[in-house]
Chains A and B, each alone.
Chain A
């Protein structure tokens, strides 16, 4: 027994500081052109080197894994997975608190379940980074966080604990709350909240601590938005809602990402002029209500307009309980978006919009070793995700 323990102890460091060489018939670093017969060397938790087999020698002792196609770990720019669970019963649906339409201080980290089965589901299909948290359906529903899909506690999983505050404009809010009952009222309530926070910030600057107002978690968060310390993730699907979102952004100088944007193709110039990136609805979003006019070709139109965008899995209230960004980008790739642009929309472009491109989204030495191995074109329905590596650890190895 004792010898066995020693053996384990000896073995353990070699597991934790992985040395892996991933060989791909084609490697897509997405930080340069695709590499035929490429190699990705992984040492510890980071990428050591990326290049063609002819230039990158595989050092002895490295575990060699092979694949037809190798890509960076996939980045889902917006989901609710981990707050929203597989059973779809009240106790596993934590993405929307309906007690008040404005609650920006609800933190994703206080609700994320890293062991949720659906987190594992998307992980085995290649999703390694998620921007997850409070969902659409309230004027301000709470924050989102950026995490890896590995890790047994939220702390282990985290990249960024407070990434964005989730906003929703439009009639879906009125389905969840008595007030706002209209879109105009929703906008008025949001503007009033920002004014209140401006007032709060001013009072907080009072020299005499006794004259400062009592701390208010919600207003602290809105103040963070006003100072540009945290991004406003504004879900707006119709053209009317999109323009309202841009108006709000302009009035309060928000750092903003436009989310959903089903009718973005009607107001491309306005989105472009505002300089806001778009986290587009899942391509296969169920059409109806605000997404009635969604189109398979919107991603291609955003690309043509030169607007930075990512494709999200979004939130589903029924089935499929979680969407898979790989599949959503595939349908965009079949509808006018180029293969590489589609791949970027769920890797490096998503990482840039989330502000985590220094760590994830492309295969570059020094970045986190998040790598996905496919047995064919990742977007083909019949291709399998055969292995997933997160932070240098192989987290799944079954083709599926």
Chain B
């Protein structure tokens, strides 16, 4: 029995490896490499999970053994990067504390959750899975590549899930994290609690430094402090839920005081303080809602936020906050940015490279360049058209979604018993948005 299993495992690995090892070429498509101008009648070569060449069809030699896909009339672009999502049925900190720097969502993600398929159907290949916004600090986020996976290790970008930095740090201010004790009751208390925690982390870091590598002199191990030292040193990015203009400025004030790197998330009212955000050098990850309101902090949300931030020079990405908006319609969010005045080029970046930068993953993903991961999507037409669909999604050279296959199509359109594990209450329990 054991031998059979071993054999099965070995053959499946070989098959998978073979699929990635055979050079694959897409040609004839309009290619959006993102970091360089669009290419009409373009071609892309990928091998061993990486992009080998991108250019005009005919600009590079196609290997004799390559599998060639003709994509005339189609659009090819990098797999999309969703900087803020709640897919995977994970969770974060519990009600025992408002501040949970030690809690990791990677310990709780169900890699078989069917909303990962939803994301692939929407062209998403990399996702920042976050714990909710019901805490000032709900825990460590996880940057995931949507590879077929048996365990969470198969999806992580980091090599060491135990001690590595596998994501950012989720924080929130405003009304979501204002609750009964031990949570704060006011905005000022929220900020004070965060400052106290970071002051402690600074002291912890001083003790670590003073130990000069001597294990005897090191402070007692503290998981939360260790993660916060990574934040203080800029190795772990803060992903900060924040809506109102004054809450946004509070985040920037704290980031300045403690020197952490921050991505501002949702930012309903960022359009009111765009210059301040630009001056602080922060990035923004935007949610698009069809209408304002639904919560007090979102009554002034506008489609124009992306355009205003672009003009101010702020790096902009979009996100789904799935289940708040649907992963299958991720591109729609950026299209609404274009509707309200954002440039097409920046809107495409906002779905790809801008998000990759916010996750410190731009060396691997977010644009089509030789050496980067072969994460690509095939679209039926103009990315920003309502009528365009994601036809194929490829992750590291492997096709993981194909709309022409009925087993995949069902994830794109839904239907009876297609999504069995996702429920509305997921979004609410996660404290999303």
A385, chain B: closest CB distance, angstroms: 10
- Residues in A neighbouring B292, C-beta threshold 8 A: 86, 117-118, 121, 320-321
- Residues in A neighbouring B413, C-beta threshold 8 A: 295-297, 335
CA distance A34 to B47 in the complex (A): 51
Q: Is the CB of B415 within 8 A of A382?
A: no
- Residues in A neighbouring B293, C-beta threshold 8 A: 85-88, 117-118, 319-322
- Residues in A neighbouring B418, C-beta threshold 8 A: 293, 295
> Given the interface contacts A288-B423, A331-B329, A381-B336, does A320 sit within 8 Å of B289 by beta carbon?
yes
- Residues in B neighbouring A322, C-beta threshold 8 A: 290-291, 293
A74-86, CB under 8 A of B: which get 1 and which 0?
Answer: 0000000000011
Q: Is the CB of A331 within 8 A of B291?
A: no
Whether A266 sits at the interface, judged by CB under 8 Å, is yes
B419-433, CB under 8 A of A: which get 1 and which 0?
Answer: 100111111100001
Determine, out of B64-72, B83-91, B205-213, B385-393, the stretch whose residues face the partner at the interface.
B385-393
Whether A384 sits at the interface, judged by CB under 8 Å, is yes
Q: Is the CB of B414 within 8 A of A87?
A: no
A273-291, CB under 8 A of B: which get 1 and which 0?
Answer: 0000000000010111101
> Given the interface contacts A263-B416, A324-B290, does A319 sit within 8 Å of B335 by beta carbon?
no
CB-contact partner of A382 in B299, B338, B417, under 8 A = B338
CA distance A264 to B423 in the complex (A): 20
CB-contacts of B267-292 with A (<8 A): 289-292
- Residues in B neighbouring A295, C-beta threshold 8 A: 413-415, 418
Whether A380 sits at the interface, judged by CB under 8 Å, is yes
- Residues in B neighbouring A316, C-beta threshold 8 A: 294
B163, chain A: closest CB distance, angstroms: 37
Whether B323 sits at the interface, judged by CB under 8 Å, is yes
Q: Is the CB of B425 within 8 A of A266?
A: no
Q: Is the CB of A293 within 8 A of B414?
A: yes
CA distance A96 to B335 in the complex (A): 35
Q: Is the CB of A292 within 8 A of B419?
A: yes
Instruction: Find the B residue at minimum CB distance from A262.
Output: B414
> Given the interface contacts A319-B289, A320-B294, A327-B290, does A286 sit within 8 Å of B386 by beta carbon?
no
- Residues in A neighbouring B433, C-beta threshold 8 A: 318-319
A88-112, CB under 8 A of B: which get 1 and which 0?
Answer: 1100000000000000000000000
B134, chain A: closest CB distance, angstroms: 14
A105, chain B: closest CB distance, angstroms: 29
CA distance A382 to B335 in the complex (A): 6
CA distance A380 to B385 in the complex (A): 6
CA distance A235 to B25 in the complex (A): 50
A206, chain B: closest CB distance, angstroms: 49
> Given the interface contacts A89-B296, A318-B433, A381-B384, does A288 sit within 8 Å of B422 by beta carbon?
yes
Whether A64 sits at the interface, judged by CB under 8 Å, is no
Q: Is the CB of A293 within 8 A of B294?
A: no
Q: Is the CB of B335 within 8 A of A321?
A: no
Q: Is the CB of B387 within 8 A of A293?
A: no
Instruction: Find the A residue at minimum CB distance from B421.
Output: A292
- Residues in A neighbouring B385, C-beta threshold 8 A: 380-382
Q: Is the CB of B295 within 8 A of A319?
A: yes
Q: Is the CB of B423 within 8 A of A88?
A: no
Instruction: Find the B residue at minimum CB distance from A300.
Output: B413
CA distance A295 to B300 in the complex (A): 31
CA distance A45 to B42 in the complex (A): 55
Q: Is the CB of A381 within 8 A of B386?
A: yes
CA distance A379 to B384 in the complex (A): 12
CA distance A333 to B298 in the complex (A): 29
Q: Is the CB of A379 within 8 A of B386?
A: yes
**Interface CB pairs A-B, < 8 A, 23:** A86-B293, A87-B299, A288-B323, A288-B422, A288-B423, A288-B427, A289-B423, A289-B425, A292-B423, A295-B413, A295-B414, A319-B293, A319-B324, A319-B433, A320-B291, A320-B294, A322-B291, A331-B329, A333-B386, A379-B387, A381-B339, A382-B335, A382-B338
User: A86-B299, A287-B422 are known contacts; what are 10 more A-B pairs with Cβ within 8 Å?
Assistant: A263-B416, A288-B427, A292-B422, A293-B417, A294-B414, A320-B291, A320-B294, A324-B290, A330-B386, A381-B336
Residues of B at under 8 Å CB distance from A? Answer: 289-296, 298-299, 303, 323-324, 326, 329, 332, 335-336, 338-340, 384-389, 412-419, 422-428, 433
* CB-based closest 9 A-B pairs: A288-B424, A86-B293, A319-B294, A381-B335, A321-B294, A320-B290, A321-B293, A295-B414, A288-B423
